[in-house]
Structure 1
Amino acid sequence: MEFEIKERQFLPKDFKVKDWETLKPYFDKLLEEEINSTQDLENWFAKLSELEAVVSEDMAWRYIKMTCDTSDEKLAASFEDFVRNIQPHIAPYSDKLNRKALASPYLASVKEKEGYNIMIREMEKDVKIFREENIPLETEIASLSQKYGSISGAMDIEHEGKEMTLQQAAVMLQSTDRELREEIYRKISSRRLADKEKLDKLFTELIQLRTKVAKNAGFENYRDFMFASMGRFDYSPQDCFDFHDSVKSEVVPLLDEIAKNRKEKLELDTLRPWDKAVDISGKEALEPFNGADDLTQKTIKVFNKLDPFLGDCLVKMVEMKHLDLDSRKGKSPGGYNYPLSETGVPFIFMNATSTLRDMVTLLHEGGHAVHSFLMNDLELNDFKNPPSEVAELASMSMELITLDYWDIFFDNEEDLKRAKTEHLEGIIETLPWVATIDKFQHWIYENPEHTVAERTKAWNDILDDFSDSITDYAGLEKFKDSLWQKQLHLYEVPFYYIEYGMAQLGAVAVWKNYKTDPKKGLDSYMKALRMGYTKSIPEVYEAADIKFDFSKKNISELMNFVKEEMQKL
Structure 2
Amino acid sequence: METLKINKKARIYIPVDLTIIWENLEPLFEELLARNINSVADLEKWLKDRSELEAALEEDFAWRYIRMTCDTTDEKLLADFQFFATEIEPRIAPLNNELNKKFIGSKFAEKLDKSKYFVYTRGIKKALELFREENIPLQTQIQVEQQKYQAITGAMSVNLRGKEYTLEQAAVFLKDTDRNLRKETWEAITARRLQDKEKLDELFNGLLKLRHQVALNAGFENFRDYMFQALGRFDYTPHDCYKFHEAIKKEIVPILQEQAEIRRKALGLEELKPWDMDVDISGKAALKPFNSGEELIDKSIKCFQGLDPYIGERLEIMKANGFFDVESRKGKAPGGYNYPLAESGAPFIFMNSAGTFRDLTTMVHEGGHAVHTFISADLELNDFKHLPSEVAELASMSMELISMDKWDVFFDNPEDLKRAKKDQLKDVLKTLPWVAVVDQFQHWIYTNPDQTSEERREAWRSIFAPFGNNFADWTQHEEALLNLWQKQLHIFEVPFYYVEYGIAQLGAIAVWKNYKENPEKGLHDYLEALKLGYTKTIKQIYETAGIEFNFSKSYVKELVEFVKDELKKLD
TM over 0.5: yes
- Letter of the 2:488 partner, please give it: Q
The residue that corresponds to 1:484 in the other structure is 485
TM-score if structure 1 supplies the norm length?
Answer: 0.99
TM-score if structure 2 supplies the norm length?
Answer: 0.98
Identify the match of residue 16 of structure 1 among 6, 16, 19: 19
The Cα shift of 1:385 comes to 1.1
The residue that corresponds to 2:43 in the other structure is 41
The Cα shift of 1:239 comes to 1.1
Per the alignment, in what secondary structure is the counterpart of residue 112 of structure 2?
helix
The residue that corresponds to 2:264 in the other structure is 263
For the 8 Å contact 1:71–1:330, the answer to whether it is kept is yes
Q: After the TM superposition, which residues 230-245 of structure 1 pair with which residues of structure 2 at under 5 Å, given as runs?
A: 230-245=231-246
Identify the match of residue 95 of structure 1 among 94, 97, 116: 97
For the 8 Å contact 2:82–2:144, the answer to whether it is kept is yes
Per the alignment, in what secondary structure is the counterpart of residue 134 of structure 2?
helix
- Letter of the 1:112 partner, please give it: K
The residue that corresponds to 2:526 in the other structure is 525
Rounded to whole Å, the distance in 2 between the matches of 1:53 and 1:307 is 29
For the 8 Å contact 2:327–2:351, the answer to whether it is kept is yes
For the 8 Å contact 1:303–1:402, the answer to whether it is kept is yes
Q: After the TM superposition, which residues 385-396 of structure 1 pair with which residues of structure 2 at under 5 Å, given as runs?
A: 385-396=386-397
Rounded to whole Å, the distance in 2 between the matches of 1:261 and 1:40 is 66
Q: After the TM superposition, which residues 34-183 of structure 1 pair with which residues of structure 2 at under 5 Å, given as runs?
A: 34-114=36-116, 116-183=117-184
Q: 1:288-331 deviations in whole A, cap 9, x for unaligned?
A: 00101100110001100110000010011011110000100000
Rounded to whole Å, the distance in 2 between the matches of 1:505 and 1:415 is 26
The residue that corresponds to 1:30 in the other structure is 32
For the 8 Å contact 1:304–1:310, the answer to whether it is kept is yes
The residue that corresponds to 2:195 in the other structure is 194
For the 8 Å contact 2:369–2:395, the answer to whether it is kept is yes
For the 8 Å contact 2:306–2:406, the answer to whether it is kept is yes
Rounded to whole Å, the distance in 2 between the matches of 1:210 and 1:379 is 33
5+ unaligned residues in a row in structure 2: which ranges?
Answer: none
Rounded to whole Å, the distance in 1 between the matches of 2:155 and 2:22 is 32
The Cα shift of 1:395 comes to 0.2
Rounded to whole Å, the distance in 1 between the matches of 2:537 and 2:242 is 21
The residue that corresponds to 2:279 in the other structure is 278
Q: 1:347-375 deviations in whole A, cap 9, x for unaligned?
A: 00000011000011000000000001110
Q: 1:431-459 deviations in whole A, cap 9, x for unaligned?
A: 00000000000000000001111111100
Q: After the TM superposition, which residues 275-314 of structure 1 pair with which residues of structure 2 at under 5 Å, given as runs?
A: 275-314=276-315
For the 8 Å contact 1:255–1:468, the answer to whether it is kept is no
For the 8 Å contact 1:259–1:468, the answer to whether it is kept is no
Q: 1:154-200 deviations in whole A, cap 9, x for unaligned?
A: 00001122111000000000000001100100000000000000000
Rounded to whole Å, the distance in 2 between the matches of 1:85 and 1:554 is 47
5+ unaligned residues in a row in structure 1: which ranges?
Answer: none
The Cα shift of 1:412 comes to 0.4
- Letter of the 2:105 partner, please give it: A
Rounded to whole Å, the distance in 1 between the matches of 2:122 and 2:381 is 15
Alignment RMSD (CA, Å): 1.0
The Cα shift of 1:112 comes to 2.2
For the 8 Å contact 1:256–1:468, the answer to whether it is kept is no
Q: 1:228-247 deviations in whole A, cap 9, x for unaligned?
A: 11111111111111110110
The Cα shift of 1:479 comes to 0.4
For the 8 Å contact 2:345–2:378, the answer to whether it is kept is no
Per the alignment, in what secondary structure is the counterpart of residue 546 of structure 1?
coil
The Cα shift of 1:482 comes to 0.3
Rounded to whole Å, the distance in 1 between the matches of 2:510 and 2:343 is 33
The Cα shift of 1:6 comes to 2.1
Rounded to whole Å, the distance in 1 between the matches of 2:385 and 2:19 is 22
The Cα shift of 1:16 comes to 2.6
The Cα shift of 1:425 comes to 0.5
Per the alignment, in what secondary structure is the counterpart of residue 430 of structure 1?
helix
Rounded to whole Å, the distance in 1 between the matches of 2:198 and 2:273 is 25
Rounded to whole Å, the distance in 2 between the matches of 1:136 and 1:471 is 44
The Cα shift of 1:410 comes to 0.5
Per the alignment, in what secondary structure is the counterpart of residue 158 of structure 2?
strand
Per the alignment, in what secondary structure is the counterpart of residue 365 of structure 2?
helix
Structure 1 residues 246 and 113: alpha-carbon distance in aligned structure 2, compared to 1, 3 A threshold: closer
Q: 1:129-156 deviations in whole A, cap 9, x for unaligned?
A: 0000000000110111000000000000
- Mean Cα deviation higher: 473-482 or 6-15: 6-15
- Letter of the 1:13 partner, please give it: V
For the 8 Å contact 1:439–1:462, the answer to whether it is kept is yes
Per the alignment, in what secondary structure is the counterpart of residue 346 of structure 1?
strand
- Letter of the 2:82 partner, please give it: E
- Letter of the 1:37 partner, please give it: S
Rounded to whole Å, the distance in 1 between the matches of 2:220 and 2:70 is 37
Rounded to whole Å, the distance in 2 between the matches of 1:234 and 1:455 is 29
For the 8 Å contact 2:71–2:333, the answer to whether it is kept is yes
For the 8 Å contact 1:506–1:548, the answer to whether it is kept is yes
For the 8 Å contact 2:511–2:526, the answer to whether it is kept is yes
Per the alignment, in what secondary structure is the counterpart of residue 339 of structure 1?
strand
Q: How many residues align?
A: 567
- Letter of the 1:11 partner, please give it: I
Q: After the TM superposition, which residues 157-556 of structure 1 pair with which residues of structure 2 at under 5 Å, given as runs?
A: 157-467=158-468, 470-556=471-557
Rounded to whole Å, the distance in 2 between the matches of 1:191 and 1:143 is 24
The residue that corresponds to 1:7 in the other structure is 10
For the 8 Å contact 1:440–1:458, the answer to whether it is kept is yes
Per the alignment, in what secondary structure is the counterpart of residue 185 of structure 2?
helix
- Letter of the 1:316 partner, please give it: I
